[in-house]
Amino acid sequence: MAQENAAGEATRPAENGTFDAVVIGAGFAGLYMLHRLRGLGFTAQVYEAGSGVGGTWYWNRYPGARCDVESLQYSFSFSEELDQEWNWSEKYSPQPEILAYANHIADRFDLRGQIVFDTRVTAATFNEDTDTWLIETDRGDRVTAKFCIMAVGCLSAPNRPAFQGKSDFRGPIYHTGEWPHEGVDFGGLRVGVIGTGSSAIQSIPMIAQQAVQLTVFQRTATWSVPAWNEALSAEYLKDAKAHYPALRAKARARPTGFYFPFNIQPALQASSEEREQQYEAAWRRGGLPFLGAYGDLLFDKSANDTIAEFARQKIRDIVKNPTTAELLCPHNVFGCKRLCVDTNYFETYNLPHVKLVDVSKTPIERFTKDGIVVDGTEYMVDAIVSATGFAAMTGSFDKIKITGRSGRTLAEKWSGGPRAYLGLASEGFPNLFMITGPGSPSVLASMIQAIEQHVDWLADCLGHMRDVAANSIEPLRENEDAWVAHVNDVSMVSLRSTCSSWYVGANIPGRPRVFMPYIGGFPVYVQKCNEVMNSAYDGFVLKGARSNNAPPRVRFTERWHVPLDIEVISPAAVAAKRVPVV
């Protein structure tokens, strides 16, 4: 029967199909998962809340949005033909180009036919009698699948702080993570931007070009390094493509899953002059690789203090008004929160119509019909941009009522923080998988590499289950507990565990403080996944299998047998688990 949406428009009929797998989300993870499932002959359906593919890059259309991992590495590596045929135009791709790439993937691999758009999954419920999942959507679909695969993204659930008086404000309020597709013209307007994370530092210089007045409300000053973005010439691309497989291999062997020059020397072993030169050279390279200037910057606070002071001096050099410059200087650990990569962020504060308001000690009091009140002063604005981030890592799971064995929900199980074995699956939720879930490298590696490795591992796992006629797979509690403890232990070695970032859920009041991504390094993690697979899924229980001890036939995981690049990490650091990550 045809359904109606809220506007009373006729929509597609609800479905009651049965599939081998349902995938939730059509970002890069969902697209690649679908490609692998199809290749193995599984029936699959993808549900996507948006009207198109691309996930993060579909929703985050704010001005200036671009990736902070270089284009040549922020892309799929599974197809050499794809690598050769796609041409990136800039060192750091802008959002429209990454979205075009996602659309190219969907078309080139003929994926659209199995993606249902404009449909949000609302519930997934495990049936213990049939070992299947019932998946329900906001369009009335009720479909059944043996496997439910969460490709919901790590930074996809916008954080909208409950500012008082929000509904009083007369103008529009935009969130960077759900930007209007038609774009926004800020010409002639007074604009207020709340937040100074990655989304803000990218959009502020662009908004400043249009707005007649821009007021930035800063709660925590941000560390940011210039991108030095540039167009990629035809010669550069030709040369890079001639060596693409080697670049991919080097990238996989890095803790971050992407390649950049890295100096393993400890910062304090260098003289202050040497350090200055080294930081200057790294600043000239720019971007996230700035953190590769020395090997111990994220482990040793004294070493970190040296790079922090260098970066503060850069801010003071750029920003002409000394009071504004001091306000823009962070005093927390350098790179503790996700390092930002900008184009003209600090320079923007030299413009006469751009104002910085400190809300660190006196938070935003309320919105009024005409503006934002801080410490008794009303700042008049016509439009507000909320660059306030996301309920990271688990926010997208929270939006779906996921009910596993014995009627227990994932939200109940994760109320004290997420618990998942390898960030892939959670005890009590058989046949439910996560791509780049909490406890996997995910956001601390290049996302697309992390996605590919997970999908390949999952594809091999599902292929194996079919080979041995297993009904279900589920992690054992003790293995999951041990992994969660290991993720936590490793995080303690890094200075990253010390600040109130979204990595630990601390950007949103009331969330449990748990370091969510795996910080032990991408190759170390890959090795663990491979060991689990090669030992016939150690730590998982396979139910109903004809033979559950046989090592699986490796179809796709082979290419992830990567050694840790010891060139960038001293054996002593590995032994001490001091594996640096960006």
Q: Which stretch binds ligand N01 (CB under 6 A): 18-26, 104-112, 357-365, 569-577?
A: 357-365
- For residue 581, the minimal CB distance to ligand N01 (Å) is 13
Total residue length of the chain: 582
Instruction: Give the residue with the Cβ less far from ligand N01, 168 or 412.
Output: 168
Return the H-helix or E-strand segment holding 491: helix 477-493
Site for ligand N01 in 385-404 (CB under 6 A): 387-390
Q: 48: closest CA among 115, 142, 97, 143?
A: 115
Instruction: Give the residue with the Cβ less far from ligand N01, 178 or 305.
Output: 178
Instruction: Give the residue with the Cβ less far from ligand N01, 341 or 451.
Output: 341
Amino acid sitting at position 158: P
Composition of the chain by helix, strand, coil, percent to 5: 35, 20, 45
Instruction: Give the residue with the Cβ less far from ligand N01, 388 or 557.
Output: 388
Q: How far is CA 1 from the centre of its chain?
A: 38
Q: Which residues pair with 355 in a beta bridge?
A: 215
Q: How far apart are CA 62 and CA 178, in angstroms?
A: 8
- For residue 484, the minimal CB distance to ligand N01 (Å) is 22
Q: List phi, psi (to 5°) of 245.
A: -60, -35
Q: List phi, psi (to 5°) of 290.
A: -55, -35
Instruction: Give the residue with the Cβ less far from ligand N01, 109 or 163.
Output: 163
Q: Would you say 307 and 334 are in contact if contact means Cβ atoms under 8 Å apart?
A: yes
SS3 180: coil
- For residue 87, the minimal CB distance to ligand N01 (Å) is 20
Alpha helices of 74-147 — where are they, by DSSP H? 80-85, 95-108
Site for ligand N01 in 317-356 (CB under 6 A): 338, 341
Among positions 108, 114, 140, 161, the unique one binding ligand N01 when judged by CB under 6 A = 161
Assign residue 376 a region: left if phi > 0, alpha if psi is -120 to 50, beta otherwise? left
Instruction: Give the residue with the Cβ less far from ligand N01, 131 or 358.
Output: 358
Instruction: Give the residue with the Cβ less far from ligand N01, 146 or 312.
Output: 312
SS3 115: strand
| 502 forms part of the interface with ligand N01 (CB under 6 A) | yes
Q: How far apart are CA 277 and CA 282, in angstroms?
A: 9
Site for ligand N01 in 192-221 (CB under 6 A): 194-200, 202, 217, 219-220
Q: List phi, psi (to 5°) of 412.
A: -65, -45
Instruction: Give the residue with the Cβ less far from ligand N01, 25 or 404.
Output: 25
| 453 forms part of the interface with ligand N01 (CB under 6 A) | no
Instruction: Give the residue with the Cβ less far from ligand N01, 140 or 161.
Output: 161
- For residue 161, the minimal CB distance to ligand N01 (Å) is 4
Q: In what order do the strands lie in the sheet with 377-380?
A: 364-367, 371-374, 377-380
Indicate the burial class of 6 (C-beta count within 10 angstroms; 0-12, 13-18, 19 or more).
exposed
- For residue 153, the minimal CB distance to ligand N01 (Å) is 10
Instruction: Tell me the two tokens of residue 552.
Output: 């699986």
| 156 forms part of the interface with ligand N01 (CB under 6 A) | no
- For residue 69, the minimal CB distance to ligand N01 (Å) is 7
| 441 forms part of the interface with ligand N01 (CB under 6 A) | no
Q: Per-residue x/- mask for ligand N01, residues 172 to 191, rule CB under 6 A?
A: ----x---------------
- For residue 94, the minimal CB distance to ligand N01 (Å) is 11
Q: What is the dihedral of CA 417, 388, 183, 103, to 10 degrees?
A: -30
Q: How far apart are CA 330 and CA 231, in angstroms?
A: 31
Q: Which residue is nearest to ligand N01 (CB)?
A: 197
Q: Give the total of residues touching ligand N01 (CB under 6 A).
A: 28
Site for ligand N01 in 369-388 (CB under 6 A): 387-388
Q: 70: closest CA among 280, 246, 289, 250?
A: 289
Q: How far apart are CA 65 and CA 204, in angstroms?
A: 11
- For residue 433, the minimal CB distance to ligand N01 (Å) is 23
- For residue 333, the minimal CB distance to ligand N01 (Å) is 13
| 364 forms part of the interface with ligand N01 (CB under 6 A) | yes
Instruction: Give the residue with the Cβ less far from ligand N01, 99 or 143.
Output: 99
Q: Would you say 459 and 37 are in contact if contact means Cβ atoms under 8 Å apart?
A: yes
Instruction: Give the residue with the Cβ less far from ligand N01, 253 or 364.
Output: 364
- For residue 151, the minimal CB distance to ligand N01 (Å) is 17
- For residue 176, the minimal CB distance to ligand N01 (Å) is 6
Instruction: Give the residue with the Cβ less far from ligand N01, 195 or 257.
Output: 195
Q: How far apart are CA 429 and CA 133, in angstroms?
A: 10
Measured over the CA atoms of residue 518, residue 520, residue 526 and residue 530, the dihedral's sign is negative
Q: How far apart are CA 428 and CA 447, in angstroms?
A: 27
Return the H-helix or E-strand segment holding 126: strand 121-127
Give the N- to C-terminal CA distance of the chain in Å, as an integer. Answer: 51
- For residue 158, the minimal CB distance to ligand N01 (Å) is 8
Among positions 44, 148, 359, 410, the unique one binding ligand N01 when judged by CB under 6 A = 359
Instruction: Give the residue with the Cβ less far from ligand N01, 161 or 171.
Output: 161
Instruction: Give the residue with the Cβ less far from ligand N01, 294 or 503.
Output: 503
- For residue 160, the minimal CB distance to ligand N01 (Å) is 9
Cβ count within 10 A of residue 83: 18
Q: Per-residue x/- mask for ligand N01, residues 45 to 74, rule CB under 6 A?
A: ----------------------xx------
Instruction: Give the residue with the Cβ less far from ligand N01, 203 or 304.
Output: 203
- For residue 60, the minimal CB distance to ligand N01 (Å) is 6
Query: Please, what's the b/e burial string for 316-348 (b: 16 or more CB within 10 A of its CB; e: otherwise)?
Result: eebbeeeebbebbbbebbbbbbbbbbbbbbbbb
- For residue 545, the minimal CB distance to ligand N01 (Å) is 39
> Contact positions toward ligand N01, by CB under 6 A?
67-68, 155, 161, 176, 194-200, 202, 217, 219-220, 338, 341, 359, 363-364, 387-390, 443, 502, 507
